[in-house]
Structure 1
Amino acid sequence: MNNIFAENLFAGKTALVTGGGSGIGLAIARVLGALGARVVIAARDIERLSAASESLAGEGIDALARAVNIRDHQSIEALFQTFNAEALDVDILVNNAGGQFAAPALDISPNGFRSVVDLNLQGTFQMSQAFAKHCIASRRPGSIINIVLCQESGLPGMAHAAAARAGVVNLTKTLAWEWADQSIRVNAIAPGTIKTGGLDQYDPASLQAGVDKLLIKRMGEPEEVGQTVAFLASPAAGFITGICLAQDGGEHLTGASPQC
C-alpha cells in the first residue's frame, strides 16, 4: 500500500469500522491499523470477522472483532457497554455497514424497501448516536465517517438504496451541526464503482459500460477509500465537517452510474 501519511498517525486511537469483515470495510480497517490505530471491526458474521481480524493481526495490526447488528438498537447498546466495561475509548466511527439488492422500482416490495432503509439509514443513525454519547461521556473528541453511494444523478435499479443513502448524506450535515459543540466531526464519502467482491452480483457488461463513461476510466480500489477515510479522520481535516466527498472517478459529473 502506498502511504502518504505520517507513521503512527493514529497511535493511541481506536477506530470502529462496521461491515469491517470484507471489501471496503476491511480495507479501511487495514489502512487505519497500518497507521497505528487499534481497529475494531464489527458486523453480524462473527466467523468472517474473526478471520479478518486474524488476517489483520498477521500484518501487525491491533485488531478486535465484535458482533453487532446495526438494525438492532439493543445490539448496538450492548456493543458500547462492552467498550465501557473494557475501558476502551473509541475515537473514530466508520459507518460502512450496509447493503442493497438490484431491482427495478416497480418490483421492490414494501418490506424490501423498508429493509434497505432500516439497514442503511436507521442503522447509520443508531450507530452514530451511540458513538456520540460514548464520546460525550468520556469527554473526548470524535470523528464519524459515513460510507454512502454515489447517487447525485439517481441510481436506476437501486431506488431503495439511493433514497436511504441520500438520507445519510443529509443526516451527515445535520449531525455535523448538532454535534460540533461536542467536538464531533461528521463527514461522508460517496465511493463510485469500487473493485470488491460485492460487484459479483451485478452484470459485468453493465458495470463495464458504466466504467467506460467515467472521467477516470477504471474502477476504484478499496484501499483508495481507506486512504480518504484516513484523511478525514486525521488532524489534517480538523476544519472539515458536514461534507460528502465523491470518490467516484467523476461519476457525479457524468451521471454514468451502472444500470443494475
Structure 2
Amino acid sequence: MSVTQFNLEGRTALVTGSSRGLGQAIARGLAEAGATVVLNGMDAERLTAAADALRAEGHSVHAAAFDVTDEAAVIAAFRRLDAAGIEVDILVNNAGIQLRKPLVDFSAEEWHRVLDTNLTSAFLVGREAARRMIPRGRGKVINIGSLMSNFARPTVAPYTAAKGGIKLLTQAMAAEWAEHGIQANAIGPGYMLTDMNQALTSNPQFDSWVKSRTPSRRWGRPDELVGTAIFLSSAASDYVNGQIIYVDGGMSSVL
C-alpha cells in the first residue's frame, strides 16, 4: 500500500458542525490531507471565522450555513452546492448536541431535539449526498458516533439512543450504497477535550473517573480523530464498509 492512497487532493469534504470542536479538527485534518472542505454550522459569525482561519493556512474552503435538522434547508443547501459546481465526495456527519438529566425528566421536545440533531441529521444530509454520489459511482460517508453507540451511562439517554442509531444507520447505508462504490463508516470517539464536555472536564470526580476508566489514563484530543477520518475518507479504505472505529484510548476494550 502506498501512502499516496491517503492523499485527498481533488476531493471535496462536507463536514457538518465544523465551526468548532471535533468537526473543526476533522475539517482541518482533511484539508491538510489535500481536500477542499465545506464547513457547516448555524452561527454565521463563528462559521465565517473558522473558514477564514483555514484559508489563512492556505486551504481551499467553502462555508455552508444551514440547519442539518431541517429537511428543506438541507435540500436547499445541496442545490446551492450543485449550482456552484461543488461536488461532495466525502461527507462527515458530525453535528451533535448533548443534554444531561435523568431520563424521567426529559420532555418529548428535548428528546426529539437530541435525536434530530445527532441522528436524523445524518439521515437527511447523508441522503442528499448519496443521491449525488450514486450516479458518480463513488463517495465516502463518515458518521460520528460515540462510545455511547455501544454503551450507556446515566443522564444521557437520548444521546445514547441517537448514537446507537448512528451505528446501525451506518450499517444500513453500507448495505444499500456499497454496490454503488460508496463506503459508509463511523468513528466512535471516547471522552474528548471539547467545549461540549467542558462541564465534565471541570468536574474533579468525573475527570478522575475518565482517567481511571481509560487505559490511556487521559482524555482524548480532537486532533486524534484526524488519522481515522483521513483513512476512512481515502482510497485506503475502499473495502471497509459498515464499520465503527472507536478512538477512545482503549475504554471500550475493558470492563
- Which of the five TM-score ranges fits, normalised by the shorter chain? over 0.9
Question: Which of 53, 77, 87 lines up with 1:79 in the alignment?
Answer: 77
Structure 2 length normalisation: TM-score?
Answer: 0.94
Aligned AA (2:45): E
Aligned AA (1:117): L
Distance in 2 between the 1:45 and 1:134 partners?
27
Distance in 2 between the 1:208 and 1:248 partners?
16
Secondary structure of the 1:187 match is strand
The more displaced of 199-208 and 14-23 is 199-208
Question: Which of 95, 98, 119 lines up with 1:97 in the alignment?
Answer: 95
Distance in 2 between the 1:75 and 1:8 partners?
32
Distance in 1 between the 2:96 and 2:35 partners?
23
Structure 2 residue 203 is the aligned partner of structure 1 residue 204: yes
Secondary structure of the 1:239 match is coil
Partner of 1:51: 49
Structure 1 residue runs of 4+, over 3 Å off?
Answer: 5-8
Secondary structure of the 1:41 match is strand
Distance in 2 between the 1:243 and 1:8 partners?
18
Do the aligned partners of residues 86 and 181 (structure 1) sit closer, same or farther apart at CA in structure 2, a change above 3 Å counting? same
The more displaced of 194-203 and 222-231 is 194-203
Partner of 1:164: 162
Partner of 1:213: 213
Alpha-carbon offset, residue 156 of structure 1: 1.8
Aligned AA (1:211): K
Q: Which has the higher helix share?
A: 2
Secondary structure of the 1:66 match is strand
Q: Provide the alpha-carbon RMSD of the alignment.
A: 1.7
Alpha-carbon offset, residue 209 of structure 1: 1.5
Q: Does the 8 Å contact 1:24/1:226 carry over to 2?
A: no
Structure 1 length normalisation: TM-score?
Answer: 0.92
Aligned AA (2:143): N
Number of matched pairs: 251
Secondary structure of the 1:39 match is strand
Structure 2 residue 133 is the aligned partner of structure 1 residue 146: no
Q: Write out per-residue CA displacement over residues 192-224 of structure 1, whole angstroms, 9 at most, x where no aligned residue.
A: 011122211335221332222211111111111
Aligned AA (2:139): G
Partner of 1:122: 120
Secondary structure of the 1:71 match is coil
Q: Does the 8 Å contact 2:98/2:196 carry over to 1?
A: no
Unaligned runs of 5+ in 2: none
Alignment of 1:13-28 (within 5 A): 13-28=11-26
Secondary structure of the 1:40 match is strand
Unaligned runs of 5+ in 1: 256-260
Q: Does the 8 Å contact 1:46/1:66 carry over to 2?
A: no
Q: Does the 8 Å contact 2:5/2:234 carry over to 1?
A: no
Q: Does the 8 Å contact 1:80/1:134 carry over to 2?
A: no
Aligned AA (1:146): N
Distance in 1 between the 2:219 and 2:4 partners?
27
Do the aligned partners of residues 235 and 72 (structure 1) sit closer, same or farther apart at CA in structure 2, a change above 3 Å counting? same
Aligned AA (1:254): V
